[in-house]
Structures are given as structure tokens and as C-alpha cells.
Amino acid sequence: MLNWIIKNDWRNLRADRTLWAVAILLGCVIAYGVHNGAAWVNFQKETIQRAMDEESTRLEAIRKGIDDANAGRTNPPSFRDPRSPFSVGYTMGGSYAFLPPGPLAPLAVGQSDLLPYYLKVSLRSRDTMIGSDEIENPVHLLSGRFDLAFVIIYLFPLLILALSYNLISSEKEDGTLAMTLSQPVSLRTLAAGKIALRGLFVISVATAISIAAALFSGVNLAAEGALPRFLLWIGAVAAYGAFWFALAVAVNALGRGSSTNAVALAGMWLVFVLLVPALLNVAVKAVHPVPSRVEMIQAMREAGDDVTRTRSKLLAKYLEDHPELVPSTKDSAQEFAVRNVAIMEEMERRVQPVLARFETQLAQQQDLVDRYRFLSPAVLVQSALYDLAGTNVFRYKHFERLAQGFHREWSDHFSPLVARNANLTPASIDAMPKFAYREEAFADVLSRVAVSLVGLLALASIAAFAAVRGLRKYPLVG
């Protein structure tokens, strides 16, 4: 009997021209979203490549400058001398740390357009490294980029609700429900058959679209970790769809008319997809407000002014704490270089409390979002999709930790050279530290995504339980 219900319902859906019109429109929207995601990832890759090319060209010019200065062909000033470890480590030879696009980045831009994906590391303090900005249209940053994840989070539920709002009510309004139930079939079996068909259709379409989007946007599913992430992506989309189907059945089970069902489901879409996430965003900012950026800039200025006024005392204290860095000769240029290294270290120490408060408040905001994300399936699936795509704050924090480690490695490499007033050679340029990005452990990603998937399945189970209970009391007449 269930097979008969599915076949009959498929004939009815296939004859509905509205379904195919919506499917074509959805396909166009998805194609546009995939194009946007792929374009952003290509822009990131091109930007990183340009940065790498610029660094390679700059280092080659430094090598040539060293040869020319040693041969007497040039006589550069001390602050631009390619043989000076301070000049190279502080300005001329700064090296890039970069965050490559995530495994599924073309499918979900996420926060990758808000967070910096490349940093220039030098002897300057860490706050100057992470405080660099890139010009971007603020409207784009405010509204976010249209991508496949946007389609899934916001438009995918509307397709499900459009197919399911009159699941049972249309049969009742057409007068065919009582006749159908006079056969050896229960109302729950009828609803299960209709949902099975629509669920199979929608999930199959979503899976096919995700595969096509991955292939056409350049996602390499053969790359390490890409395929498990993609399978989890499909699972997250299926769990998200299961919630909306279960919710549609629960509303149908109330026994209202199709128009009432449509209004009720549209209202629930507004609540779960728009209202709850917006209120959650307002709440986390009110409970854990981020310190003002103006405060951080002012603290940096005050630190800079203070250390400049006390640079002699600061240098003496710095050399007392680092006796291995005491200059070998009384050279004004060398003393200037060591003093600046000391100033940068002190400025970083002074600004660190402000940066720590900034990071602590952001972490508390994220903890609050993680705690209350179960109030909205949209927040849950967004968290899962961004995590799988590698475009969320967790992956950026992992990159930031690697960049900070590289900054320490850079300082540890150049500070002794500055103290010894060593002359750099072309081989010294080749020996400079190089940044190497290491992807975060997949187990960490899996643990975070698993929580979101369990949350989606729990919400779907609650809605399904309400639907089953409602169908038992469904009024066949009236």
C-alpha cells in the first residue's frame, strides 16, 4: 500500500507545472551561489599567489643587493642595507603567513571574507601584524556573500514547505481523504508515503546539486580529508531537511486548512531562520560586548609614546633581561636596531592585555552561541556547513596560533643576528624561517560537526514525535 501511495503521489507532483518552475528557478539561484563561492576562492588563491610572488621577487632583490654592496657597486644607507639583519627582519624581508582556502570553501564563504587570510610577519610587534586591513565593500561584509550554504540555510526550507504545507489538508479539502482512508491504509501510512516521496526527491536533488557544485567549483574530493567532509555536508543537509519535513507534518496534523498551514509554516521559517539567529546575535553582543577597537588603538599609541620617552631605560632593562643580545661593539646603528627590537617587544607586552580582553570576549561570545544554537536549526546547520568548508572562526584561530608561532620563530632568528651586528649573505636569506600551514586535526572538526548533527536530529525527532501524536487525533471531518 505504501508503494501505491508513493506512485500515485508522484504522478500528481509530476503533473504540477509549478514544481518544475520552482525547480528551474532554484537551479538558477544555486548556480549563481556556486559561481560566487568559486569566484571568492579563486580571488583568495590569486591574492595569496601574488603575495608569494612579491615575496620571492623581494628576496631575490635582497640577495642581489647583498652581492652589489659587498662588491662595492652600491653603498646603501644603514636602514636600507640588505646586509643588515635589522633592516631585513624589520622591513625589507618580511615573510607572509597565509591561510589557504578550506577543503569545501567554494560551497560556503562563511567568515572568510571577514577574517584576514594572509599576514606579513616581521620584527614588528604582533598587534601590527594582525591589525592590517584590506579594503572591501562594507555592504558586502554586512550582508555576506551569496553561496550554496546560503541557499541551503534560507531557501532549501522554503522548497520543502512549498511541497509539504498541504500534505494532508489538500486531500481533506478535495474530499478524497475519507475515501482514501476507507481502504486498508492508516493516516500515518498515508502521511509517511507522501513524506517519503517528497523527502527522497528533495534530498536527492540536494545531494546531486552539492556534487555538481563541488565538481564545477573546483573542489578536489580526492584531497586529504575532503571526501569525509563532503559526506558530512550531505548528512547535515539531509538532517536539516528532515527537520523541516517533520515540522510540516506536525503542522498538517493540527487539522487546519492549507492556507492556515502555509501561514503557520512561513511564520516558523521566519522564527527559526531569521528571528532566533538575530536575537541570539544581539544577546551575545549585549552579554559579552567586545572592547572598543578605539581603546586598542589608543592603548597602542600610549604604549608607543611611553616607550619612546623611556627608550634608554627600556634598552638597559632589555639588555639586562637578555644579556646574550648585548651589542658586541659601540655602533650607533647597531644600538638603534637593538633598541627598536626592545621597543617592539615592550609595545607588544603593553598592548597584550587589551588584545587578551578582545580575544576573551570573542571566545565567550562563541561559547554562548554554541550553547544556544540548539534553539534554531538554521544556526546548527550553518555552524556545521561553515566548519566543514573551513570558513569559520575555529579554523582562523588555528591559523592565528600558527602565525603567532611563526612570529616568535622569526624574532628568535633575527634578534641574535641584530645583537651580533652580523652581515647577512645570500645564504642567510635562504636560511630565514618559512611559514608552513598545517591543517587542524580532522577529529577536532568532526567533534564540532557531530554536536550540530546530533542537535539537528534531536530537533527533527521532536517535530516527528509531535507529528505522530497529532496524526492520532486528526479530525477527518470539520
3-state secondary structure of 474: coil
Which residues are 97's β-sheet partners? Answer: 119
pLDDT at 226: 87
Q: How many domains does the chain have?
A: 1
pLDDT at 436: 92
CA–chain centroid gap for 422, Å, is: 43
Which residues are 120's β-sheet partners? Answer: 96
**Residue ranges making up the domain that contains 253:** 1-478
Taking the CA atoms of the chain, what radius of gyration do you get in angstroms? 30
| Short-list 21, 470, 318, 442, CA closest to 13 | 21
Q: 421 near 204, Cβ under 8 Å?
A: no
Q: Which residue has the cell 588584545?
A: 355
pLDDT at 448: 93
pLDDT at 471: 83
Q: Which residues are CB-contacts of 416 (< 8 A; sequence separation ≥ 6)?
A: 324, 325
pLDDT at 222: 80
Q: How far is CA 452 from CA 156, 382, 457, 463, in A?
A: 18, 9, 9, 17
Q: Which residues are CB-contacts of 133 (< 8 A; sequence separation ≥ 6)?
A: none
pLDDT at 470: 86
b vs e for 182-194, b when ≥16 Cβ sit within 10 Å of the residue's Cβ?
eeeeebeebbbbb
| Short-list 56, 138, 108, 52, CA closest to 390 | 108
CA-CA distance, 311 to 304, in Å (whole number)? 10
Q: Which residues are CB-contacts of 271 (< 8 A; sequence separation ≥ 6)?
A: none
b vs e for 283-305, b when ≥16 Cβ sit within 10 Å of the residue's Cβ?
ebeeebeebeeeebeebbeebbe
Q: 75 near 69, Cβ under 8 Å?
A: yes
pLDDT at 328: 55
**Crossing angle between the packed helical segments 156-164 and 187-216, to the nearest 10 degrees:** 150
pLDDT at 169: 77
- Burial zone of 468 (CB within 10 Å; 0-12 exposed, 13-18 middle, 19+ buried): middle
pLDDT at 114: 78
pLDDT of the chain, 478 residues: tens digit per residue: 556 566 666 666 666 666 677 777 777 888 888 888 888 899 999 999 999 999 999 999 999 999 999 888 888 887 788 988 888 888 888 899 999 998 888 889 888 877 888 888 988 766 555 555 454 544 444 445 788 899 899 988 998 888 888 887 777 776 677 666 666 667 777 777 788 888 888 888 778 888 888 888 778 888 888 899 999 999 999 999 999 999 999 998 888 888 899 999 999 999 999 999 989 888 887 877 766 666 666 766 676 666 666 655 655 565 556 565 555 555 556 656 666 666 677 667 766 777 777 777 777 877 888 888 889 999 999 999 999 999 988 999 999 899 989 988 998 898 888 877 788 899 999 999 999 999 998 999 999 999 999 999 999 999 999 988 888 877 766 5
DSSP code, position 95: E
| Short-list 30, 142, 37, CA closest to 390 | 37
CA–chain centroid gap for 40, Å, is: 13
pTM, 2 dp: 0.83
pLDDT at 420: 76
CA-CA distance, 343 to 275, in Å (whole number)? 49
CA-CA distance, 86 to 336, in Å (whole number)? 9
DSSP code, position 257: -
User: DSSP string spanning 95-126?
Assistant: EEEE-PPPTTGGG--TTTTTS-SEEEESSS-H
| Short-list 376, 370, 391, 377, CA closest to 239 | 377
pLDDT at 142: 45
Instruction: Give the H/E segment covering residue 358.
Output: helix 332-372
CA-CA distance, 118 to 51, in Å (whole number)? 9
CA-CA distance, 443 to 217, in Å (whole number)? 26
